[in-house]
Structure 1
Amino acid sequence: MVRISPFKVEEWMDRLETTPGVLNIAETCCESVSVEDLYKLADGDSRPPPLDLTSRKLTYGHIEGSPDTRQKIADLYKDGSSPDLKLDDVLVTQGAIGANFLTLYALIGAGDHVICVHPTYEQLYEVPRSIGADVTLWRLEEKDSYIPNPTHLESLVRDNSKMIIINNPNNPFGTTIPKSVLTQIIDFARPRGLIVMADEVYRPLFHSLPEHEPSPPSILSLGYDKTISTSSMSKAWSLAGIRFGWIATRDEEIMTAIKSARNYTTISVSQLDDQIAGLALSAAVRPNLLRRNIKLAQNNIALLEAFVHKYSEVCSWTKPTAGTTAMIRFERRGQSVKDDEFCLEVLEKTRVLVMPGSTCFGDGEYFEGYMRFGYVSSTNVLKDALGALGHYLENGFAHGG
């Protein structure tokens, strides 16, 4: 029997996000939009036609995803420096969680060894473990600004290593792996024939990079075919409710293996979801939707930065450069708070929901005192939540615990 560890991040959210009156800043998606919102975002001169949601016969539809939507996904990877993706290089899935699971299920087996950045989304290392693979966690360190250090790979790799897994931008720290580091990872993987899988679900939400630092390319843009990108419409594109993701790779052997495994898990993705994703990624909507979300992220992270600065005696962080999540460390009377207890304390006293670092990413000592904040929600929700939390820090925090 396959033994799967409890998915602590999702269980925490399932249990608490429906708390009455909750101010949810544990959520990791950009503020959600409706189909009506997408049409409002469309450029007037090229307004897309109405979606065919009522008269269409609801068959399985295109098994691998409609050609139109898959082409729009392929276009996301155009960068002028690498060959364009072909239609067959893209396969749609039920969310990024489906893309990640399917990739690992298809390519990793018992006895394989995987190197995975940590912290990251728990699925990326627990699914390989459940399959019977050995997993070595590639620890992100504060001295490296929570960016993976490629010099560590030599000590992590084994003779049976098959895959390196990264997450760019990172969940939970919101850090960005620059092109120079991505290139070093590829240079390490290439002579060893290692697959490099990148969960790029928060791409292209690069909102706070230094002016001199360009946005990094996708892992697919570095001239190495044994690379895989997974992503979805949930995080950067504000459409978690359609459960639409994808896998992209130029390696025909990898894609064949994934398609074969997919027949046991997916068959096809909803035609309705496919249409809405295609609308959001259309030339008329996509630039405006991304512009809206980057502006929202920039506005909201400024609010969060002001909060951290105001309460710097009790909290600290490494400011995110991308994505929707930040890790903030809290101290009480000079000692790190117990993050899981503190999160429940905050929820009880303020109705604010955040995520405890050690509970949801493991290793209590490493994450002692850390909370994950999701800050690209509604600005009003974030303001209310930070206001309530700030009031508690000023009035009840010192005496709690």
Structure 2
Amino acid sequence: MVRIPAFEVEQWMDKYETTPGVLNISETCASSITLEQLVQFNSQKDAAPLFDLSARMTYGTILGSEELRQNIADTYRDQDEPEAASPVSPEDVIVTQGAISANYLALYSLVGPGDHVVCVFPTYQQLYSVPESLGAEVSLWKLRAEDSYVPDVSQLKTLIKSNTKMLIINNPNNPTGATIPLPVLSQIVSVAKAHDLILFSDEVYRPLFHSSPAPPSVLSLYPKSLATSSLSKAWALAGIRVGWVATRDGALRARLASARDYTTISVSQVDDGVARYALSAPVRPSLLARNVGLARANLELLARFVADHARTCDWVRPTAGTTALVRFRHRESGRPVDDVAFCEDVLRRTRVMLVPASKCFGNGTEFRGCVRVGYVSETEVLREALESLGAYVADNLA
């Protein structure tokens, strides 16, 4: 039997996010929009409808509609080289049921017993637990607060082994909100090239760069790379369950497509249609502008909270994405809180939902006292949650 460890962050979310009256600032998606709202972002007044109701409900195009794959490819041009051709073609894109399926497909297709994988840490648990469950050896490439959670390439070089096959990064990072800047990305690519490694980048929070220059996707930098993403985080459309994996390497793409046959025939035609509408040229810029604007405004609220409670919390300010890692400590002793007990008590007393980092992103001791805050919720939700959390901290962290 395959050993599958508990997926701690997902189990935490499942357990608590339906708490009555919850003020959820643990959610990692930009505040979700309705389909009615989505239509309002279209700059073409005579635009085609959101979905063709006369379309027959067949499986559709197996790897995703041509239009959706083209629109996905175009997203890689917007920030990398807006005036140039996209580094990605529609043929490079395979559509999946969310980024979680894209990540699993990439790992299931390309990693197995006898392989060694290096993965940044902390990150989404799937990225290191799945390779382990498939029989691979995994080395964690640990990010440090003193480096602003930017990976240290000199440390990476010490982790490479003769059987290293894949290097996994997450840019922007979950849970820290850190960005890997282009100079560091270039060094990572150099290491991957030198050892002929597959470079796998979870880019699900791209292109939500709100506080730093936008680095290019790895797809622009290294042919033997693959990137995953979805409509959930930066595009505020988690409910349509559309993601993708893209690679310019034909051999990797063929292996991904072949393995996908065992798990997915196609995504829903309805989901495909909504996704291609959302990522179309008349909609995409204004939808992203809404989410970037929300992230910037809400980040200032969170920054003010951290500054106002500097005796009991600190952070490395995030530069992209939707999440921040905030460390809480007792006022007098400076001792980190028990973040699991802290999150449970905060939820019970204030209805504010947070994610404990030592449980969901560490091993029980790392990131002690840290909680993940998802701050790109509705602004009023965040404001109310931070007011309640501030009162709790003042009364309970002596």
Q: Mapping of 1:254-265 within 5 angstroms?
A: 254-265=252-263
Choose from 231, 234, 240 the match for 2:232: 234
CA displacement 1:53-107 (0-9 Å, x = unmatched): 5332211111000000100001111233776322210000000000000000000
Question: 1:67 aligns to what?
Answer: 66
The CA distance in 2 between the partners of 1:23 and 1:53, in whole Å, is 37
User: Shift of the alpha carbon at 1:144?
Assistant: 1.2
Aligned match of 1:189: 192
Letter in 2 for 1:351: R
Q: For 1:105 and 1:297, how far apart are their aligned partners in 2? A: 34
Once residues 48 and 318 of structure 1 are traced to their aligned partners in structure 2, the CA distance between those partners, rounded to angstroms, is: 43
The count of corresponding residues between Structure 1 and Structure 2 is 392
Q: Is the 8 A contact 1:39 1:48 kept in 2?
A: no
User: Which residue of 1 is the match for residue 8 of structure 2?
Assistant: 8
Equivalent AA in structure 2 for residue 240 of structure 1: A
User: Which residue does 2:25 correspond to in 1?
Assistant: 25
- Conserved 8 A contact 1:82-1:221: no
Root mean square deviation, CA, Å: 1.2
Name the aligned partner's letter for residue 183 of structure 1.
Answer: S
In the other structure, the counterpart of 2:383 is 383
Deviates more, 1:326-335 or 1:110-119: 326-335
Q: CA deviation at 1:142?
A: 1.6
Instruction: Kindly indicate whether residue 273 of structure 2 is the aligned counterpart of residue 270 of structure 1.
Output: no
Query: Residue 103 of structure 1 corresponds to which residue in structure 2?
Result: 106
- Partner SS state of residue 290, structure 1: helix
TM-fit CA distance, 1:257: 0.3
Q: Work out the CA distance in 2 between the residues paired with 1:362 and 1:153.
A: 19
What pairs with 1:153-168 in structure 2 (closer than 5 Å)? 153-168=156-171
Structure 1 residues 46-125: aligned runs within 5 Å: 47-78=46-77, 79-80=80-81, 84-125=87-128
CA contact (8 A) 1:228 1:247 kept: yes
The residue matched to 1:208 in structure 2 has which SS? coil
Match of 2:302 in 1: 304
State the match for 2:178 in structure 1.
Answer: 175
2:329·2:397 contact (CA, 8 Å) conserved in 1? no
> Structure 1 CA distance, aligned partners of 2:29 and 2:357?
18
Q: How far apart, CA to CA, are the structure 1 residues paired with 2:249 and 2:85?
A: 14
| CA apart distance, 1:44 | 4.1
4+ runs deviating over 4 angstroms: none
Separation of aligned partners in 2, 1:157 and 1:52: 48
Determine what percentage of the aligned residue pairs are the same residue.
Answer: 55
Check 1:341–1:53 CA distance in 2 against 1; reply closer, same or farther (3 A cut).
farther
Aligned partners of 2:87, 2:392: CA distance in 1, in Å? 52
Residue of 135, 140, 147 corresponding to 1:137: 140
- In 2, the alpha carbon distance for the partners of 1:381 and 1:72 equals 32
Change (3 A) 1:56 1:158: same
TM-score, normalised to structure 1, is 0.96
Q: Distance in 2 between matches of 1:265 and 1:319?
A: 39
Q: Which deviates the most, 289-298 or 76-85? A: 76-85
Cα deviation digits, residues 166-221 of structure 1 (max 9, x gap): 00000000000000001001101112110000000000101112xxxx31001111
Conservation of the 8 A alpha-carbon contact between 1:41 and 1:289? yes
Structure 1: 5+ residue stretches without partners = none
Take 1:285 and 1:106, find their aligned partners in 2: how far apart are those partners? 34
Identify if the C-alpha distance between structure 1 residues 82 and 125 changes in structure 2 by more than 3 Å, giving closer, same or farther: farther
Instruction: Work out the CA distance in 2 between the residues paired with 1:168 and 1:84.
Output: 18
The equivalent residue for 2:344 is 344
Where 1:335 maps in the other structure, the secondary structure is coil
Aligned equivalents of 2:146, 2:364: Cα separation in 1: 19
Query: Separation in 2 of the partners of 1:355 and 1:231?
Result: 22
Q: CA deviation at 1:34?
A: 1.3
In structure 1, the residue corresponding to 2:329 is in which secondary structure?
strand
Q: Does 1:253 align with 2:251?
A: yes
Aligned partners of 2:171, 2:359: CA distance in 1, in Å?
Answer: 22
Q: Which residue of 1 aligns with 2:335?
A: 335
Q: Give the Cα–Cα distance (whole angstroms) in 2 for the partners of residues 284 and 83 of structure 1.
A: 17
Q: Deviations over 1:294-313 (max 9, x none)?
A: 00000000000000000000
Q: Is the 8 A contact 2:76 2:86 kept in 1?
A: no
What's the counterpart of residue 221 of structure 1? Answer: 220
Aligned partner of 1:186: which letter?
A: V
Identify which range, 372-381 or 80-89, moves more after superposition.
Answer: 80-89
Q: Is the 8 A contact 1:297 1:324 kept in 2?
A: yes
Which ranges of structure 2 fall in alignment gaps of 5 or more residues? none
Do the aligned residues in 2 keep the contact of 1:48 with 1:279 (CA within 8 Å)? no
Q: Could you tell me which amino acid in structure 2 is paired with residue 161 of structure 1?
A: T
